[in-house]
Amino acid sequence: MRIGPFDISPSLVVAPMAGVTDRPFRSLCRRLGAGLAVSEMVGSDPGLRDTPKTRWRTDHTAETGPIAAQIAGADPHWLAAAARFNVERGAQLIDINMGCPAKKVCNVAAGSALLRDEALVARILAAVVGAVSVPVTLKIRTGWDRTQRNAVTIARIAECSGIQALTVHGRTRADAFAGAAEYDTIAAVKAAVRIPVIANGDITDARSARAVLDATGADALMIGRGAFGRPWVFREVAHFLATGTTLPPPDVREWSAIVSAHLADIHSFYGEATGVRIARKHIGWYVHGIPGGERLRQRINEAETIVGQRAALDAWCFLIQSGAASRPRTDDRVAAPFALPAHACSYNNHRAPAERTRIRPEEIHR
């Protein structure tokens, strides 16, 4: 897939998700096979630009290009200014959010609420495209609700406005994330426009990715919740689409290395107070479905320092590497990525050698 001067290969995109797709997660997904990663949405309110949250969300230091930033809001002038601000901060692609279903976003007529006002959509797109020299893309849903599926109309407006790629999530705003995504509307959008169309919704593994491509004819896929705790899903999908064969998930050693590196990157990026808090949800996703994983999640949640979280994870990794089978299980979204030894489930009674983990007794054995 090509967006402006950029060749997006593989044609797999990390979805912009508030509270998830920060720089550490984007960088990790790129290393593990994503062709593009879009930032958390950055609000267009100029009064919020000099806040820690905005500084984090617009920090692209050492990030692999092309760098994509998503902006959100409802005022064409504010959004145009937000686009320029993000380009100044290093963005090489600007994505406009018209797909977020969250009440706090829709209540201010932003996100997917904009789909109800096609004239405003046209004004916003024209303002943003005219404000920057980089490619501008758009993310939408199929409509406001099932009686107002207007994605095809919005897509045509987008194409006429100079939007260079369009992502469609296969649900309406009213659906939020309930039920199954539908792909007929995405297929209709693809048939109606010549710009690249990216399909999004319920893509959780290699086979569902293939099915969505077949159903929609889309040029690319965007994966969001399917990457929670499984950032390697991008390389699995890319491999399957290229070869038709299934790539095994990480063995215990690679799993440990990926999770450890991600935790360290979170701590380095945010610092202790915020980093420790943000790390908790990611570890919870990583251990979902792994026997004994709940104990690690508890220890990570209890730890209030970087040292405490590192010690908890290092002890866990030592346990699983000391006796876990390296043969992975089947490629199942909810199954553990590998088989664990029985002693890993007794995590509370074990710790790794101190020289490897720097474990403090009060952090592990309380």
pLDDT digits (tens, 9 = 90+) for 36-66: 999 999 998 988 888 999 999 999 999 999 9
In this prediction, residue 112 carries a pLDDT of 87
Residue 361 has pLDDT above 70, yes or no: no
pLDDT attached to residue 333? 47
269 contacts: CB under 8 Å, gap ≥ 6: 22, 23, 24, 56, 59, 275
- Structural domains in the chain plus CATH codes: 2-243 (3.20.20.70), 252-364 (no CATH)
For residue 100, the model assigns a pLDDT of 82
Name the catalytic one among 100, 106, 160, 317. 100
Separation CA 81–CA 88 (nearest Å):
11
Rounded to two decimals, what is the model's pTM?
0.88
3 state SS of 216: helix
Q: Please return the burial class of 264, using the count of CB atoms within 10 Å of its CB with bins 0-12, 13-18 and 19+.
A: middle
The closest of 322, 358, 327, 328 to 341, measured between CA atoms, is 322
Q: How confident is the model at residue 226 (pLDDT cuts 50, 70, 90)?
A: very high
Q: Identify the residue whose tokens are 């690690």.
A: 296
Residue 109 — very low, low, confident or very high, per pLDDT cuts 50/70/90?
Answer: low
Q: Is the peptide bond before 10 cis (omega within 30 degrees of 0)?
A: yes
Can you give the pLDDT at residue 353?
33
Residue 7 has pLDDT above 50, yes or no: yes
Establish whether 100 is a catalytic residue. yes
Residue 335 — very low, low, confident or very high, per pLDDT cuts 50/70/90?
A: very low
Residue 243 CB partners (closer than 8 Å, separation 6+): none
Query: 87 or 144: which carries more pLDDT confidence?
Result: 87
φ and ψ at residue 49, rounded to 5 degrees: -70, -30
